[in-house]
Amino acid sequence: MEQSGTSTRLQAAVQDLASGVVSALRGGDHAHVVPPAGTDGEAGDLALAAVRVLGADALLPGLLSRTPPDPAELAVFRKAVEAYPPRADAAPTVRWSHWAMARTLRRADPSSAEPPDEPDTAWLDDATWQFVTHQLAVLAPLALPGEDCAVSRLAAGRPVDVARGFVRAVRRRDWRQAAGAGRWLTLLPGVPDSVGLEAGLDFVELMGGQDPLVALQVQAARRMRTGARV
């Protein structure tokens, strides 16, 4: 299906933002990557929308390095949370992504409002391992050390399924899905050693790492494997 011009520009803006997050996670840049507020017009709109699409990971470097959030960066993040609430009929991943942002905002700034009630995970209750892995990969920003929410509890109950999904994604050359699943596997208990997660993540980076959205998940997984906490 052909994408609209807006959609294409939005994807480019998300990739730019993800590149900044990757750089910060690698330690090659400061921990603040969200563009400053004050950019008007389409560029500002795109930047704000890109923050909403990248979601909670936009603040991941500061969260993992325990760097106090920059007020201007936090203001943009907050604006993205407030400007794009999920619609009543939004897909579960859209609702969970928004919840994750609200939760991250609260973590970064305890004076922020409490996050809304968690959405449910009913859509994954009887889902196949392939679908569960795909959805968890989309919700990779929820894969954080110590995170306790319904999605992370569901993932913790299906480590073998996620491992199978990781292998399947690699074999299908779906690097984004593989990277997201690999990030989850880094945190899940009971992952079979035979999956070869470390080498698998290296391979995902080798093959798909030119995509900043892949590199972001691989770098996040590496940081968390070294014991980074939020």
Partner 1 sequence: MRTDEKVIKEVTGIQAADIEAALDPVEADGVYRDSRQCAALALLSGATKLLLSPPTPRPKKG
Sites of contact with partner 1 (CB under 8 A)? 4, 6-7, 10-11, 14, 41-42, 45-46, 48-49, 52-53, 55, 83-84, 87, 90-91, 93-94, 97, 130, 134, 138, 167, 170-174, 176-177, 193-196, 198-200, 202-203, 206-207
- Contact between residue 177 and residue 213 where contact means Cβ atoms under 8 Å apart: no
CB of 7 to partner 1, least distance (A): 5
Taking residue 215's Cβ as centre, other Cβ atoms within 10 Å add up to 23
Question: 90 vs 228, which CB is nearer to partner 1?
Answer: 90
Question: 203 vs 230, which CB is nearer to partner 1?
Answer: 203
Question: 97 vs 104, which CB is nearer to partner 1?
Answer: 97
CB of 115 to partner 1, least distance (A): 17
**How many Å apart are CA 73 and CA 55, to the nearest integer?**
13
3-class secondary structure, 144: coil
3-class secondary structure, 119: coil
**How many Å apart are CA 172 and CA 49, to the nearest integer?**
30
Question: 20 vs 182, which CB is nearer to partner 1?
Answer: 182
CB of 66 to partner 1, least distance (A): 27
Nearest of 70, 46, 48 to residue 59 by alpha carbon: 70
